[in-house]
Amino acid sequence: MNILETPESESITKEGTLVVQALLRAETIDSLTRQSFLSLTGEQISSIACYPSGSHLLCQLILKSNLWPILRQKNFYNKLDQVYTKMACDKSACWFVTQLWKSAITIEQKLQMAKSMSNDFQNLRSNTYARFITYEMNLNAYCTRQEQWKRSIEIILKKHALFDDLDDDNNKKKKKKKF
């Protein structure tokens, strides 16, 4: 993955993203890879996400990497505050925004995304790619009834946490039975 300072020379290669994906799938993430991702700015992340291979890389980071919980704790969502709308309107990056929404585990993370994107609600709703994340986030409800939207998101997050706890309990019981 080659990302240089000037926008004209930015290029993300498929081969480069495959190498980085392999690094991210390791059980332990080396410090250089971790520090590289931690030091990325919102604009740099947006640039990566706007390439098909880069978007795939970032989605794999969320779905399969041990690095994602660390990044999520280190204000990853804050970095993207100014670029959510830009990414949601991009053919490749909209998948990454959708994964960010689905993987947000706190109300603050979801609220931050909704607040950032609500400023451009009309543009997002009319955009070919962004309308799907607008629907998924129920951004219309956020713009018209924020407190009700927040309560419904809190209920959904609590249900997910409850099911995750039940799933963890079932997995522990299955492991015990195997021995």
* Per-residue pLDDT reduced to its tens digit, 61-81: 899 888 888 888 888 899 999
Of 18-27, 72-81, 108-117, 163-172, the one with minimum mean pLDDT is 163-172
Q: Which domain holds residue 53?
A: 7-105
Residue 171: predicted pLDDT: 63
Give me the pLDDT at residue 162, please.
Answer: 81
- Look up residue 106 and give its amino acid: T
Output 169 or 177, whichever has higher pLDDT: 169
- Residue 176 in domain: no
The pLDDT score that the predictor gives to residue 30 is: 82
CB atoms < 10 A from the CB of 32, how many? Answer: 9
95 occurs within a structural domain: yes
What is the total count of domains within the chain? Answer: 1
Looking at residue 3, what is its pLDDT? Answer: 45
- The verdict on residue 124 lying in a domain is no
Contact 54, 1 (CB under 8 A): yes
Q: Which residue would you say has higher pLDDT here, 166 or 110? A: 110
Contact 129, 88 (CB under 8 A): yes
List Cα–Cα distances, 19 to 15, 33, 168, in angstroms.
Answer: 6, 11, 32
The CA distance from 23 to 100, in Å, is 20
Instruction: Write out the two tokens for 30.
Output: 């080396």
Range list of H helices, the chain: 14-24, 31-39, 42-49, 52-64, 68-73, 76-79, 84-88, 93-103, 107-118, 121-126, 130-137, 139-144, 146-178
Among left, alpha and beta (phi > 0; psi -120 to 50; other), residue 172 is: alpha
User: 166 in a domain, yes or no?
Assistant: no
- Of residues 138 and 169, the one with the higher pLDDT is 138
Within-domain flag for 159 = no
Q: What is the pLDDT of residue 105?
A: 87
Q: Indicate the pTM of the whole model.
A: 0.79
Question: Using CA atoms, how far apart are residues 64 and 21, in angstroms rounded to an integer?
Answer: 9
Structure tokens at 25: 């799938």
pLDDT of residue 168: 62
Residue 138 included in any domain? no
Question: Which region among 41-45, 124-128, 173-177 has the lowest average model confidence (pLDDT)?
Answer: 173-177
Determine, yes or no, domain membership for 39.
yes
Q: Which of 143, 62, 66 is nearest to 104 (CA)?
A: 62
Type of residue found at 89? C
Q: For residues 124 and 131, what is the distance between their CA atoms, to the nearest angstrom?
A: 6
* Domain assignment of residue 116, yes or no: no
